[in-house]
Amino acid sequence: MKSRNLTLPLFLLALSAVAFAQSDAQKSFDQMKVLAGNWQGPVTTEPKMAKMGNMTSTQVSLRVTSRGNAIVHEMYGEGKADDPTRYDHPVTMLYLDGDRLLLTHYCDAGNRPRMTAKPSSDGKKIEFDFLDVAGSTKYGHMDHAVFTVIDANHHTEDWTYMMPGDKPMHAHMDLVRK
């Protein structure tokens, strides 16, 4: 009889934990939606790459799509033609999957890493950790991303790319709304 009396409170406790996790993912997703718009700003890499060394500025477009169920993030070099067949033009999709916020990065390296979000305690930062990758990692893969909201017209993005041999390359973008 005692075990039955404990079953309901334990079930309710477990259910509330799941609801809390869902609300964290939803809050993070709603926070990302606020970034919808066009952005521009300087980009720096560490270590500096010859390929990115000439790109001192970038443009980012964030667009809410699919009736509010997904966010499209597109990145391209400022001053470059909008021609993804000639220039880097990675696309990232952000979406809710049950109780978690996922990011799928359609990389110019020909693969699709997925990352899962974890919100920060201050509510201004959303950090994405590597989950898995589809496609070849011969040329490396995106491994980590952090979006930090400064205010409605300013945010930063930090991306970590794992080069062949698991050597990390970090890119930092300081973006203002266009």
The pLDDT tens digits of the residues spanning 137-172 come to 999 999 999 999 999 999 999 999 999 999 999 999
Pick from 134, 142, 158, 79: which is nearest to 108 by CA? 142
Chain mean position to CA 166: 20
pLDDT at position 18 is 47
Domain boundaries, the chain: 2-177
What is the CATH class of 2-177? mainly beta
pLDDT at position 121 is 80
| Positions of the chain with pLDDT under 50 | 7-21, 52-53
pLDDT at position 58 is 92
Global pTM? 0.82
Beta strand ranges found along 47-153 (DSSP E): 57-65, 70-77, 91-97, 100-106, 112-119, 125-134, 141-151
pLDDT at position 48 is 77
Burial 159-169 (b: 16+ CB within 10 A, else e): bebbeeeeeeb
| CA-atom Rg of the chain in angstroms | 19
pLDDT at position 12 is 44
